[in-house]
Structure 1
Amino acid sequence: MFRCPRLPQVLACSLFGLLASVAHAATPSPAPETLQPLLNTINERLDIADLVALAKWDSGKPIQDTARETLLINNARKQATGSNVNPDEAADLIAAQIEANKLVQYGLIAQWQAAHKAPDLPRPDLTQLRAKQDELQARLLQQYAAFVPYRVDPECPQWLAAQRSDLIKDALHGQALIRATGELCITDL
């Protein structure tokens, strides 16, 4: 009968090498430094949605504001050229932010309607909030421009999920943050 005493050792070394390469492939590379500032700005914009909801609760204004949304998207297209961003991508990014903000507003107002009251907090001025949103939009587009080269990286969804999870404060804002960042990574080339 044929025996090869070294065969188990060769197999063990091969298996160890295979496992090491799989473990290395499963360890994602660190996220680019441009991602966290972008996510922080998106999250800051979502925090403003809470205040906008309060202002709209008090004023009775509807959440949907088509004229304001159109203005923001058109401004994003104009700002995109100065930020070296594709105008259509800038419009999509800002549209996602608007939808995420409305998600928060609808959710909070529904909670307040069920409770028959809004929180007892200082009431914001909607005009000042909009000025802050405009400032954030300019910063958001600059940060997005810095992140664009990483959008197609195969590890982008893992980076996004890991860094986004640290920002989630509750289910409503978590869903809104997912909506706001849903198209940051391009996975279907």
Structure 2
Amino acid sequence: MQPTAYARRLLTVGAITATVFTGPAGPSPAAAPPSAPSPTAPSPTAPVAGASYGAYTRLLPLADLSARRLATADLVAAAKWGTGSPVDDPVREKQVLDTVARQAREAGADPGATVRISRDQIEANKRVQRALHSRWDADPSDAPVGRPDLAEVREEINRVNVDLVRAIAASPAARAAHSCGGTLTAAEAHVRHDRHLDRLHATALSHALRSVCVRRTETPIELR
């Protein structure tokens, strides 16, 4: 399968974006997924053991948007492969983190938590890029034929980041709850099933979500 086609499928199939939130008052109905989940997969309306339905609906968009952002890693990897452009781009990464911190303040979200989650999103994205580059180096016949426009891909990343900030702003109680870990695991499992993630992207998704739940011992990030 060409990675660009896989990425486009991930960007469009089963989308549950943070736009389900209209504000602190609560969520509005999300669009129904294109196919029904299997009996063993958690559905968006299923109760989650040890957590409220409200917490689940707050964390599900975060998990889904994280998978959508990961899909862009395939496109970034294809855009950079064979060009000599490194996976790491400290200048771009700083721009992204500075932007989400500003957006978090404007949205009433915790800038420190937003930056932590966004940094994990970036690192998960780079993990996918490195894995794909290694795969294509080992077997060039599996490499993408076309080269996506990196500027256009980054525009999509920026759009997803805006929705992620909104989802973070809408979920402080769910992220701070003692049941957050279990609730997030259920949301992640639903997204893995709904988007048919392969092992690479499923593993990266877990990395992207590792700072979603508030850690009791974490120290605030100093933002400059």
**TM-score of the pair, normalised by structure 1:** 0.80
C-alpha spacing 1:174/1:158, structure 2 compared with 1 (3 Å): same
Q: Cα RMSD over matched residues?
A: 1.8
Q: Which has the higher helix share?
A: 1
SS in 1 for 2:118: helix
Mark the runs of 5 or more structure 1 residues left unpaired by the alignment: 1-25
SS in 2 for 1:113: helix
175, 182, 190: which is aligned to 1:158? 182
| Aligned AA (1:42) | S
| Aligned AA (2:99) | N
**Contact 2:56 / 2:187 at 8 angstroms: preserved in 1?**
no
Instruction: Figure out how many residues of one structure are paired with residues of the other and give that number.
Output: 164
**Contact 2:104 / 2:114 at 8 angstroms: preserved in 1?**
yes
20, 45, 62: which is aligned to 2:69? 45
More off after superposition, 64-73 vs 167-176: 167-176
Give the structure 2 partner of residue 180 of structure 1: 208
Give the structure 1 partner of residue 3 of structure 2: none
Give the structure 2 partner of residue 82 of structure 1: 106
**Contact 1:52 / 1:129 at 8 angstroms: preserved in 2?**
yes
How far apart, CA to CA, are the structure 1 residues paired with 2:49 and 2:154?
Answer: 42
Give the structure 2 partner of residue 3 of structure 1: none
How far apart, CA to CA, are the structure 1 residues paired with 2:190 and 2:50?
Answer: 17
The answer to whether residue 122 in structure 2 is matched with residue 94 in structure 1 is: no
C-alpha spacing 1:143/1:32, structure 2 compared with 1 (3 Å): same
Matches within 5 A, 1:1-189: 27-29=49-51, 30=53, 31-168=55-192, 169-188=197-216
Distance apart, 1:166 and its partner CA: 2.8
Distance apart, 1:117 and its partner CA: 4.0
Identity of aligned residues (%): 32
Mark the runs of 5 or more structure 2 residues left unpaired by the alignment: 1-47, 218-224
**Contact 2:78 / 2:144 at 8 angstroms: preserved in 1?**
no
Distance apart, 1:42 and its partner CA: 1.0
Which is greater in Rg?
A: 1
Distance apart, 1:110 and its partner CA: 0.9
**Contact 1:42 / 1:97 at 8 angstroms: preserved in 2?**
yes
**TM-score of the pair, normalised by structure 2:** 0.68
How far apart, CA to CA, are the structure 2 residues paired with 1:121 and 1:79?
Answer: 36
How far apart, CA to CA, are the structure 2 residues paired with 1:50 and 1:120?
Answer: 10
Distance apart, 1:123 and its partner CA: 2.5
Distance apart, 1:66 and its partner CA: 0.5
